[in-house]
Amino acid sequence: MYTTEAVKSYDSRGIPLDNPDSLGNIASLKETVNRTWGAVNNLKTEGRMKFYNLKTRSHVEVADSNVKKKKMFRQTKLGEQVRYALVADHDGMKLYKFVNEATYSSTNVPETD
């Protein structure tokens, strides 16, 4: 017993190739995946913060208990400049993450000198 249905070919995502939208939306699909993946990667894990380790050239997650905030002041010819940073101790190394004033204020970690 034979069927009269045509055999469909599918791409690697399982979308039929005879569907005109299957090939035209690849760029928008890539953009959506990249945007979603970026948002997922930027999420802060509960109780941990993401820092970049310059020595190992990799991102590391540090427990909030190992993070402190620090204000750095510098005198310039135009006046005083303030930089806000989060400082973490990870594997015997100090990691710095420079943040804006709003992030500095909203971060619930102790302040250091």
My answer on whether 74 and 89 are in the same domain is yes
Question: 53 near 90, Cβ under 8 Å?
Answer: yes
How many CB atoms are located within 10 Å of the residue 5 CB? 6
My answer on whether 96 and 50 are in the same domain is yes
My answer on whether 53 and 38 are in the same domain is no
Is a pLDDT exceeding 90 seen at residue 11? no
My answer on whether 73 and 90 are in the same domain is yes
What is the total count of domains within the chain? Answer: 2
In-domain check, residue 113: no
My answer on whether 95 and 56 are in the same domain is yes
My answer on whether 60 and 25 are in the same domain is no
Rounded to two decimals, the pTM is 0.57
In-domain check, residue 112: no
pLDDT for the residue 2: 56
The boundaries of the domain holding residue 66 are: 46-106
CA atoms within 13 A on the CB side of 15: 11
pLDDT for the residue 18: 65
Q: What is the mean pLDDT of the chain?
A: 80
- Pair of tokens at residue 109: 């970690």
Which percentage of the chain shows pLDDT scores above 70?
60
